[in-house]
Chain A
Amino acid sequence: MLNETTAAPKTNAWNHRHLLDVDDFTPEEFEIVFSTADAMSEILSRPIKKVPALRGQTVVNLFYENSTRTRASFEIAAKNLSADVLNVTSTASSITKGESLIDTLKTLEALGANIIVMRHNFSGAPYLAAKHSKASIINAGDGWHAHPTQALLDLYTIRKHKGSLAGLKATIVGDVRHSRVAHSNIWGMTKLGMEVTLCGPPTLLPYGLDNPGANFPKVRVENQVEKAVANADVVMALRLQRERQQSGLLPSVREYVERYQITSERLKKAAKDVLVMHPGPVNEDIELATESAYGEKSVINEQVSNGVAIRMAILYLLSGRQGEL
């Protein structure tokens, strides 16, 4: 139904009703998403970027937290697939005012929502939603927990450049503790055979990674950024929230810049064809020096356009329409 010239990927191995995280994905499922996104990229390269795949379906963007970028990316993705799109923004304060998440979901269901894209400031909120909703839930970022579509677009971007992910080395630098992007990427990268090194101020690194156990994939922690980026095939910088300094996790932003900023000097230690990534929006000259953010190694703008393809792929896979191909 996409178009006769687009080879539709095999999707019979796909059995997720919701996309809550990538921690339960098999390598095959990642590949289904990637090959579906390849098909979507092809659509995006056409002069008219619109197919009828989700005609008659309603996609709701339910955002409890502001994120123009992610919301816009989902909106464009849904519209490219001809879905009806409804944007609902709310604030955490409306929860405490007595309108529970479950009440809101029931209302959206009554309005005919088929897929609910949900951004929430509380970790785990999409899991609660999935338990109580007939619609498919897509986690568009929950608290400090997960951001699966961002991880998928990051992995897809790496795959486009490197072919295969197995054996590649990734280094994630910055506020890993509070980064849902980092958390989902750690799962995805390690599942697909990459080695992951985490680097950042100790107050911004996650707890318990020194503990053995199958709870979280094994990753390496390296305090010195020069050592962390050495031979890395991918260097991903994370956005630094200013309030980390106010809450006593950092002495100063200046000190952070000095010790952890990804500069072209530090990137010389990485692999020659290193990819510089960032989930955006970049605080220029804080986590990334301007020359690395926009340099030839940067794929940050590609990440944004791949995001639309990945989100189209996820919407398509969750829509239940792929059986019609």
Chain B
Amino acid sequence: MKNFLIKGGRLVDPAQGIDGKFDIAMADGKVSWIGAGEPPKNDYTVIDATNLTVTPGFIDLHTHLRQPGFEEKETISTGTAAAARGGFTTICSMPNTNPAVDNRATVDYVKCVASREAVVRVLPIGCISKGRRGETLAELGEMAGAGVIGFSDDGSPVPGARLMKQAMEYAAGLNLPIIDHCEEPSLAEGGQINEGIVATRLGLAGIPNAAEETMIARDIALAKLTGARLHLCHISSKGSIDLIRAAKTGGLKLTAEVTPHHLTLTEERCLGYDTNAKVNPPLRTYADIEALIGALLDGTIDAIATDHAPHTENDKCCEFALAPFGISGLETAFGSLMKLVHSGKMPLPLIVEKLTAGPARVLGNGFETAGSLKVGNPADLVISDPAAEWIVETAKFASKGKNSPLAGEKLKGKVIVTIYNGNIVHEEDIR
């Protein structure tokens, strides 16, 4: 482990209210100094960050690592390498693996593989129901003891309201959030893309906004009833924003996330039957994007999460109806979010906040340190170049999932160096 002195960059750490030209020193894997003059004496490796942005390492609340069971799509090793390339130093792994992470032994397995092979921090999420079947509660208490940060049947909703109520009651007692994939199954059944003009044009069955909104309304009502912490995944529609905003005004323990692709791409990406743009919830309309951006600006949405969902090329190279949902998102997250900065829709510090302090607050329970560069915190840090232009070459992804609708597209904004626990875990060659 080296000691680093990062000089001359724009330091943005929303948790501390810092946005300015500061140098930062890291020693023994921890942040040791922030300032403008001489750092405390030490043997530093100096990194020149002139014209670059220095921020806390990003936290992804929603990553699919696919191990165990779908190692051809991704492993903990390749998934965390992709995270490092994307600037993420903490990722929360979704439990829809095979077997599903619905008991202590599987949580232990994920943590064990991660401790050996992961290059960034992996925080497992446990299932809500056994086998994600939506029938009976998984062993939530045991998994809490094994260190999960919350519970989710992501990939699917919990269809029965009664089971969801029981899960919330139980999770509230463990002080862990229920992390919900909101989708009313009967409304979404058979749907391939957003219900609307593009679905009509392509002759594909649609998934209406209301599939998401009716489930959010149900879960808000249940959270009110049970006092549980509720975190809503990958919000995609304007109507959902209205519901969340109203519920938050009512003082509920409610948080929500949005993905980079729902913030930057519309349903029209599916024209030509590009299965790489097939994602659940589906890409929606420009009006929805505007509402999502508004919700980040006013705090209705707490975090940006990738919903990184890697699939093999074979999985996606087929008829649109047969292709699985999902976008490999870790490595393009920052670059695509910078579109919002360059177009003047969102300031850079707010984007950083939604990738660092925001998700850290959602995690709570002592994980807040992951979202800030306070002196004494773990040295998880990202150096990025907001002006660097690059072409998305999926062949170069560290992720096994090359499924990106951005393939071949030029992005402006790139992660240059990622430091996790005081070690460089990613460094761009073209520096």
Task: Give A residues with C-beta under 8 Å from B.
Answer: 95-96, 100-102, 120, 122-125, 127-128, 142-146, 177, 180, 183, 206-209, 211, 213, 215-216
Tell which of A96, A125, A208, A209 has the most Cβ of chain B within 10 Å: A208
**Is B319 positioned at the interface, with any CB of A under 8 Å from its CB?**
yes
Using A183-B203, A206-B200, A207-B206 as known contacts, say yes or no to A95 and B317 having CB atoms under 8 A apart: no
Closest partner residue, chain A, to B205 (CB atom): A144
CB distance from B200 to the nearest CB of A (A): 4
Report B-chain residues with C-beta under 8 Å of the C-beta of A96. 322
User: Of A101, A122, A216, which contacts B200 at CB under 8 A?
Assistant: A216
Name 22 interchain pairs, CB-CB below 8 A, sorted by A: A95-B319, A96-B322, A101-B318, A102-B317, A102-B318, A120-B319, A122-B319, A124-B319, A127-B272, A128-B273, A143-B203, A143-B204, A207-B199, A207-B200, A208-B196, A208-B199, A208-B200, A211-B196, A213-B197, A215-B197, A215-B201, A216-B200
Report A-chain residues with C-beta under 8 Å of the C-beta of B204. 123-124, 143-145
User: Of B198, B272, B319, which contacts A125 at CB under 8 A?
Assistant: B319
- Is A209 a contact of B202 with CB atoms below 8 Å? no
Closest partner residue, chain B, to A145 (CB atom): B203
Using A124-B319, A145-B203 as known contacts, say yes or no to A208 and B273 having CB atoms under 8 A apart: no
Using A127-B273, A144-B204, A207-B206 as known contacts, say yes or no to A122 and B197 having CB atoms under 8 A apart: no
| Cα A125 to Cα B268 with chains together (Å) | 18
Tell which of A100, A122, A177, A183 has the most Cβ of chain B within 10 Å: A122
| Cα A208 to Cα B204 with chains together (Å) | 13
CB distance from A63 to the nearest CB of B (A): 15
Name B191-247 residues within 8 Å CB distance of A.
Answer: 195-206
| Cα A216 to Cα B196 with chains together (Å) | 11
6 closest A-B pairs by beta carbon, nearest first, are: A145-B203, A208-B197, A124-B273, A144-B203, A123-B203, A206-B200
- Is B196 a contact of A207 with CB atoms below 8 Å? yes
Using A127-B272, A128-B273, A180-B203 as known contacts, say yes or no to A215 and B321 having CB atoms under 8 A apart: no
Report B-chain residues with C-beta under 8 Å of the C-beta of A144. 203-205
Tell which of A102, A123, A177 has the most Cβ of chain B within 10 Å: A123
| Cα A145 to Cα B321 with chains together (Å) | 12
- Is B200 a contact of A123 with CB atoms below 8 Å? no
- Is A215 a contact of B203 with CB atoms below 8 Å? no
Closest partner residue, chain B, to A124 (CB atom): B273
Report B-chain residues with C-beta under 8 Å of the C-beta of A180. 203
Report A-chain residues with C-beta under 8 Å of the C-beta of B88. none
CB distance from B188 to the nearest CB of A (A): 15
- Is B321 a contact of A122 with CB atoms below 8 Å? yes
* New A-B contacts (10) at CB < 8 Å, excluding given A101-B319, A122-B321, A216-B200: A120-B319, A123-B204, A124-B202, A128-B273, A144-B203, A145-B202, A207-B197, A207-B199, A208-B197, A211-B197
Report B-chain residues with C-beta under 8 Å of the C-beta of A146. 203
User: Of B197, B205, B206, B273, which contacts A216 at CB under 8 A?
Assistant: B197
| Cα A301 to Cα B319 with chains together (Å) | 34
CB distance from B204 to the nearest CB of A (A): 5
Closest partner residue, chain B, to A177 (CB atom): B200
- Is B197 a contact of A123 with CB atoms below 8 Å? no
Report A-chain residues with C-beta under 8 Å of the C-beta of B200. 177, 183, 206-209, 216
Closest partner residue, chain B, to A121 (CB atom): B321
| Cα A101 to Cα B319 with chains together (Å) | 8
CB distance from B283 to the nearest CB of A (A): 14
User: Of B206, B317, B320, which contacts A122 at CB under 8 A?
Assistant: B320
Report A-chain residues with C-beta under 8 Å of the C-beta of B272. 127
- Is B203 a contact of A142 with CB atoms below 8 Å? yes
| Cα A275 to Cα B298 with chains together (Å) | 58
Report A-chain residues with C-beta under 8 Å of the C-beta of B203. 123-124, 142-146, 180, 183
User: Of A101, A142, A207, which contacts B195 at CB under 8 A?
Assistant: A207
Using A123-B203, A180-B203 as known contacts, say yes or no to A128 and B197 having CB atoms under 8 A apart: no
Report A-chain residues with C-beta under 8 Å of the C-beta of B318. 100-102, 128
Report B-chain residues with C-beta under 8 Å of the C-beta of A95. 319, 322
- Is A128 a contact of B319 with CB atoms below 8 Å? yes
CB distance from B304 to the nearest CB of A (A): 28
| Cα A146 to Cα B197 with chains together (Å) | 15
Report A-chain residues with C-beta under 8 Å of the C-beta of B205. 144
Report B-chain residues with C-beta under 8 Å of the C-beta of A207. 195-197, 199-200, 206
| Cα A72 to Cα B402 with chains together (Å) | 42
| Cα A177 to Cα B205 with chains together (Å) | 10
Closest partner residue, chain B, to A128 (CB atom): B319
Tell which of B196, B203, B322 has the most Cβ of chain A within 10 Å: B203
Using A128-B273, A207-B206 as known contacts, say yes or no to A215 and B319 having CB atoms under 8 A apart: no
| Cα A295 to Cα B203 with chains together (Å) | 33
| Cα A310 to Cα B320 with chains together (Å) | 29
CB distance from B278 to the nearest CB of A (A): 11
